[in-house]
Amino acid sequence: DIVMTQSPDSLAVSLGERATINCKSSQSVFYSPTNKNYLAWYQQKPGQPPKLIIYWASTRESGVPDRFTGGGSGTDFTLTISSLQAEDVAVYYCQQYYYAPSLTFGQGTRLEIK
């Protein structure tokens, strides 16, 4: 199975500051014929289901604020929140869909306000 490892496990950032979450896959999720990375990011706020925020590693889902940016390629990816807002407090998960039908998520990164 492909293992997705996020770092750090938890992160505390001041309001208005940048937050960066890392996701590393045990094998590449880049498919050269499509020139795409098969990686998504989700945000899960307390008591709520996950919400898709980024797919294809860097494409923002409709309605997601542009302070959320996804980057990286191959095995190493980042989710960056450029200016942390109070409503961004959540657990963030990465997910690979390259190795479908086996789909795997990272363990999650808890983002809090410092």
Site residues for other proteins per CB under 8 A: 38, 40, 42, 48-52, 55, 61, 93, 95, 97, 100-108
Q: From CA 76, how far away is CA 74, in angstroms rounded?
A: 6
Among residues 36 and 67, whose Cβ is nearest to other proteins?
36
Among residues 7 and 14, whose Cβ is nearest to other proteins?
7
Could you tell me whether strands 36-37 and 109-113 are parallel, antiparallel, or unpaired per DSSP bridges? unpaired
Among residues 77 and 93, whose Cβ is nearest to other proteins?
93
What is the nearest approach in angstroms of other proteins to the Cβ of residue 83?
A: 25
- Rg of the chain over Cα atoms, rounded to whole angstroms, equals 13
Q: From CA 40, how far away is CA 55, in angstroms rounded?
A: 4
